[in-house]
């Protein structure tokens, strides 16, 4: 990456490149976008990386909590309420509150992003596991599957549609939240948007990339889910 | 369509010996409940027999069944499978040796029919080739086509087909004992009857020991070699073969439960050959009327029956037919209905009632006359079983 495009990410520098009339008017300028697309590549990559890491960690924690709560049903309420509470904290407040503890940077951003993603994935996984029909778990047990075999061979596969529904909501929400992660000193497309909030070309490209990322992730999950659940589309022919 | 399949299945489907089953004062109490769910249940089922647990809802029949494979643990007493206490076995391991079929079937919706049937063989670590062969064999055994069925998902089968696959899955590892909880309960009456008949045919080949739970006394009578009637509180009211249950209900409860039509129900258990047939004067065309008149006075039925050379009934003779010296073929009516010795008595009675005929000639498998069935003979037969009558009707017919 050139030195120029690195500079371009630093807030306050973009305005210097306004030359043509369209750009001067803060308009939507395809020519400028083509010329300056480079400067969005790295923030975009950072955005993707933050989203994927946050989702992975969030999923691991939420899934583990859900399996635990599935065995100890009384925990569903408290854990669900806890993850919900995390979600209700205003995100900007959370970023700022954490600064003294974890400092500026990706760590602070990730802690908040993960905390926000838990509620969807936990609730959906627990619900998916609980929705496995009683007769299915009864016949699994009756045939001699152990509790663990039943969990991994029957309950989890049957909960895949709900688990993925949770992942998709969490993914979309996280992509949106990463756009605010620059408050914590992390990268991402959010910084780009706010740097030049009145320049339509900038907002459209940076914002558009966020939307595109959210849509792409959604499609990836949808496609994976369809691959994992061929049975869900099987109907009497 | 399944003639070859039927020939194959006899060899391997019943390869493992059925196990005997014994309840010894088996009791289940739930904490905080005053009365037991199953109370001191003692009964033993010989290997290869179907034992039906029947009773009103809440009588503990399903609880009793589920105690056998430790889906519910016994509070007191014991249950022995093949002479071994179930309490000494690890539940998962025990259950893999006991076939399990329930009313809601509980097929795994995310697995193909083949993988559903292969559940227990896979748990037992069978190799792939053996599992594949076993799956196809079982699909054929329950009268479905392996090619067409194996790779489908449960949602793609009809209710009746799913029920058959449920039975096939329960049989997969050739268990010495099977538990079936209202396996045909959710099926419409026509298909239920078909599945029951199919299952009885299957059982005559595989000879498993089966615990069969139902709330339907008619199904119990049809399916059971022995029937355990349970009453509320998990108390065994009577344990007897179907015929004895209908004939000698042990209590008012059993009598009410089997129903006021138990005499009719018994008819479904008996065949025409089980009752004393009436004797009938029979002649061939051209025989002398003098000996016929002697026969008429000796027989239960006073109307002579015309038969052919092979003793097959043709029709009832009119008075004119034997007014002369030799018998002529002048009939008052055709011989209709004609029933066979192996017909179910209930069906034979239905024939008699439908055509308003007082008598029906009874023939053997070759069609030769054996005697005559009448409503009175059936009535005497049903009562005669209580106190066997001294009649030997059909014997008088032997040439």
Closest CA to B215 of B109, B61, B108: B61
Residue B259 dihedral angles phi and psi, to the nearest 5°: 100, 160
Does residue A126 belong to any structural domain of this protein? yes
Provide the pLDDT for residue A42. 81
Q: Quick check: B135 and B114 in contact, CB under 8 A?
A: yes
Q: Residue A181: its pLDDT value, please?
A: 81
User: At which residue do the structure tokens 């509620």 appear?
Assistant: A119
- The nearest alpha carbon in chain A to B152 belongs to A234
Q: Any idea what the Cα angle at residue B18 is, between residues B15 and B22, rounded to 5°?
A: 165
List pLDDT tens digits, range B10-31.
444 446 789 999 999 999 999 9
> Which tens digits make up the pLDDT trace of A52-83?
999 999 999 999 999 999 999 999 999 999 99
How far apart CA B169 and CA B120 sit, in angstroms, is 8
Sheet with B21-28, side-by-side order of all strands: B38-45, B21-28, B76-81, B84-85
Report yes or no on A233 lying in a domain: no
pLDDT band at A13 (very low <50, low <70, confident <90, very high): very low
Judged against a pLDDT cut of 50, whether residue A34 lies above it is answered with: yes
Q: Which of B207, B208, B205, B209 is nearest to B7 (CA)?
A: B205
Report the number of distinct structural domains present in chain A. Answer: 1
Indicate whether A92 belongs to any domain: yes
- The reply to whether A12 falls in a domain is no
* Residue A4 predicted with pLDDT over 70: no
Task: Yes or no: say if B114 and B123 are a contact pair by the CB < 8 Å rule.
Answer: no
Three-class secondary structure assignment of chain A: CCHHHHHHCCCCCHHHHCCCHHHHCCCCCHHHHHHHCHHHHHHHHHHHHHHHHHHHHHHHHHHHHHHHHHHCHHHHHHHHHHHHHHHHCCHHHHHHHHHHHHCCCHHHHHHHHHHHHHHHHHHHHHHHHHCCCHHHHHHHHHCCCCHHHHHHHHHHHHHHHHHHHHHHHHHHHHHHHHCCHHHHCCCCHHHHHHHCCCCHHHHHHHHHHHHHHHHHHHHHHHHHHHHHCHHHHCCCC
Q: Cα distance from A137 to chain B (closest Cα, Å)?
A: 8
pLDDT in the model for residue B195:
86
**Confidence at residue B189, expressed as pLDDT on a 0 to 100 scale:** 84
Contact B18/B176 with Cβ under 8 angstroms? yes
Quick one: B215 exposed, middle or buried, by C-beta within 10 A (0-12, 13-18, 19+)? Answer: middle
**Stronger pLDDT, A38 or B365, i.e. the higher one:** B365
In order of start, what are the domains of chain B with their CATH numbers? 3-269 (3.40.50.300), 272-393 (3.10.580.10)
Whether A229 contacts chain B with CB within 8 A: yes
The residue of chain B with its CA nearest to that of A136 is B106
Residues A19-44: what's their mean pLDDT?
74
**Are B153 and A231 an interchain contact pair (Cβ–Cβ within 8 Å)?**
yes
Q: What is the pLDDT of residue A19?
A: 57
Cβ within 8 Å of B, A 117-146: 133-146
Tokens of B136: 């196809």
| Displacement of CA A92 from its chain's centroid (Å) | 17
Give which of B294, B279, B290, B272 is closest to B381, Cα–Cα: B272
| Helix (DSSP H) and strand (DSSP E) numbers for chain B | 16, 17
Cα end-to-end distance, chain A, whole Å: 56
B39-63: pLDDT as tens digits: 999 999 999 999 999 999 889 999 9
Question: Would residue A35 count as lying in a domain?
Answer: no
Over residues A109-114, mean pLDDT: 88
Whether A142 sits inside 8 A of B105 (CB atoms) is no
Q: Which of B100, B152, B157 sits opposite A143 (nearest CB)?
A: B100
Which among B96, B104, B119 has CB closest to A135?
Answer: B104
Quote the DSSP letter at residue B278: B
Write out chain A residues lying below 8 Å of B93, CB-based: 144
Q: CA-to-CA distance for B362 and B343, rounded, in angstroms?
A: 10
**Inter-chain contact A138–B94, Cβ cutoff 8 Å?**
no
Residue numbers in B near A230 (CB within 8 A) = 153
3-state secondary structure B106-163: CCCCCCCHHHHHCHHHHHCCCCHHHHHHHHHHHHHHCCCCHHHHCCCCHHHCCHHHHH
Tell whether B89 lies on the interface with A, counting CB pairs under 8 A: no
Partner residue facing B71 (CB), from A134, A142, A237: A142
User: Does residue A141 fall inside a structural domain?
Assistant: yes
Q: Which of A136, A144, A157, A236 to mutate to test the interface with B (most CBs of B within 10 A)?
A: A144
Q: What whole-number distance in Å separates Cα of residue B390 and Cα of residue A74? A: 72
**Helix, strand, coil proportions of chain B in percent (round to 5)?**
40, 20, 40
**Segment among A37-51, A169-183, B383-397 with least mean pLDDT:** B383-397
Q: Is A158 in CB contact (< 8 Å) with chain B?
A: yes
Token pair 């049937």 is at which residue?
B117
Q: Is the pTM of this model over 0.90?
A: no
| Digit-coded pLDDT (tens) for B190-223 | 888 888 988 898 899 889 999 999 999 999 999 9
State the best of B65, B86, B110 to mutate against chain A, taking most chain A CBs within 10 Å. B110
Give residue A142's domain range: 41-227
Mutate to test the interface with B, among A139, A146, A235 (most CBs of B within 10 A): A139
Other CB atoms within 10 A of residue B130 CB = 10
- Tell the residue number behind the tokens 């670590």, with chain if given: B125
Q: What is the pLDDT of residues A124-163, one digit of tens each?
A: 999 999 999 999 999 999 999 999 999 999 999 999 999 9
Q: Check if A35 contacts B (Cβ < 8 Å).
A: no
Interface test mutation site (partner A, options B102, B119, B149, B170, max chain A beta carbons within 10 A):
B119
pLDDT at residue B210, as a whole number: 96
Among the listed residues B57, B105, B115, B48, the one whose alpha carbon sits nearest the alpha carbon of residue B82 = B48
Nearest alpha-carbon partner for A120 in A92, A83, A90, A156: A83
Q: What is the dihedral of CA B354, B359, B360, B362, to 10 degrees?
A: 150
CATH of the domain at A68: 1.10.3720.10
Distance in Å from the first CA to the final CA of chain B: 42
* A186 within domain boundaries: yes
pLDDT < 70 stretches in chain B: 1-15, 384-399
In the predicted structure, residue A197 carries a pLDDT above the cut 70: yes
Residues 6+ apart with CB under 8 A from B111: A231, B119, B153
Residues from chain A that touch B86, judged by Cβ atoms under 8 A, are none
Chain A positions in Cβ-Cβ contact with residue B65 (cut-off 8 Å): none
Question: Residue A187: what pLDDT?
Answer: 78
SS3 B205: helix
Asked if residue A236 belongs to a domain, the reply is no
Which of A88-92, A117-121, B277-281 is predicted least confidently?
Answer: A88-92
pLDDT above 80: residue A201: no
Cβ partners under 8 Å of residue A1, min gap 6: A38, A41, A42
């Amino acid at each position: 990456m050139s030195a120029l495009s690195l500079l371009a990410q630093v807030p306050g520098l973009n305005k210097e490149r306004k030359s043509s009339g369209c750009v001067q008017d803060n308009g939507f300028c395809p020519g400028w976008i083509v010329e300056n697309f480079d400067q969005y590549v790295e923030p975009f990559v950072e955005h993707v990386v933050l989203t994927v890491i946050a989702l992975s960690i969030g999923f691991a924690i939420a899934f583990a909590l859900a399996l635990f709560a599935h065995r100890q049903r009384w925990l569903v309420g408290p854990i669900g309420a806890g993850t919900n509470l995390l979600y209700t904290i205003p995100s900007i407040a959370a970023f700022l509150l954490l600064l003294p503890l974890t400092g500026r940077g990706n760590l602070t951003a990730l802690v908040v992003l993960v905390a926000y993603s838990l509620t969807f994935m936990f609730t959906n996984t627990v619900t998916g596991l609980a929705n496995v029909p009683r007769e299915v778990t009864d016949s699994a047990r009756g045939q001699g599957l152990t509790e663990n075999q039943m969990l991994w061979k029957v309950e989890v596969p049957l909960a895949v549609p709900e688990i993925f529904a949770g992942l998709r909501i969490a993914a979309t929400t996280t992509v949106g939240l990463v756009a605010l992660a620059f408050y914590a000193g992390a990268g991402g497309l959010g910084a780009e948007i706010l740097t030049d909030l009145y320049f339509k070309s900038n907002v459209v490209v940076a914002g558009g990339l966020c939307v595109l990322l959210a849509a792409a992730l959604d499609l990836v999950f949808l496609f994976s889910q369809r691959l994992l659940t061929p049975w869900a589309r099987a109907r009497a022919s | 369509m399944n003639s070859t399949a039927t020939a194959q299945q006899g060899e391997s489907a019943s390869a493992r010996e059925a196990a005997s089953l014994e309840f010894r004062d088996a009791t289940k109490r739930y904490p905080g409940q005053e009365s037991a769910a199953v109370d001191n249940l003692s009964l033993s089922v010989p290997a290869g027999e179907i034992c039906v647990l029947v009773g009103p809802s809440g009588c503990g029949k399903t609880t009793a069944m589920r105690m056998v494979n430790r889906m519910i643990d016994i509070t007191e007493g014991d249950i022995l499978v093949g002479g071994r206490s179930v309490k000494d076995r690890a539940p998962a391991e025990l259950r893999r040796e006991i076939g399990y079929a329930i009313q809601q079937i509980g097929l795994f919706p995310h697995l193909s029919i083949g993988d559903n049937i292969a559940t227990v063989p896979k748990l037992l670590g069978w190799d792939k080739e053996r599992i594949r062969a076993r799956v196809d064999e079982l699909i054929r055994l329950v009268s479905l086509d392996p090619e067409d069925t194996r790779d489908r998902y449960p949602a793609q089968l009809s209710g009746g087909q799913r029920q058959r696959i449920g039975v096939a899955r329960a049989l997969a590892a050739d268990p010495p004992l099977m538990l079936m909880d209202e396996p045909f309960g959710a099926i419409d009456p026509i298909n239920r009857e078909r599945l029951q008949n199919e299952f009885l045919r299957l059982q005559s080949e595989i000879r498993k020991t089966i615990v069969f739970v139902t709330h339907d006394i008619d199904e119990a009578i049809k399916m059971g070699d022995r029937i355990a009637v349970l009453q509320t509180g998990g108390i065994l009211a009577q344990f007897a073969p179907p015929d004895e249950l209908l004939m000698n209900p042990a209590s008012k409860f059993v009598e009410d439960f089997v129903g006021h039509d138990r005499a009719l129900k018994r008819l479904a258990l008996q065949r025409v050959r089980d009752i004393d047939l009436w004797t009938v004067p029979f002649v061939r065309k051209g025989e002398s009327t003098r000996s016929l008149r002697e026969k008429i006075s000796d027989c239960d039925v006073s109307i002579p029956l015309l038969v052919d050379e092979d003793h097959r009934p043709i029709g009832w003779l009119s008075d004119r037919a034997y007014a002369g010296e030799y018998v002529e073929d002048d009939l008052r009516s055709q011989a209709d209905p004609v029933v066979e010795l192996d017909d179910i008595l209930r069906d034979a009675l239905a024939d008699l009632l439908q055509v308003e005929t007082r008598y029906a000639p009874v023939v053997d498998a070759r069609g030769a006359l054996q005697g005559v069935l009448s409503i009175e003979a059936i009535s005497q037969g049903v009562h005669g079983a209580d106190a066997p009558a001294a009649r030997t009707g059909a014997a008088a017919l032997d040439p």
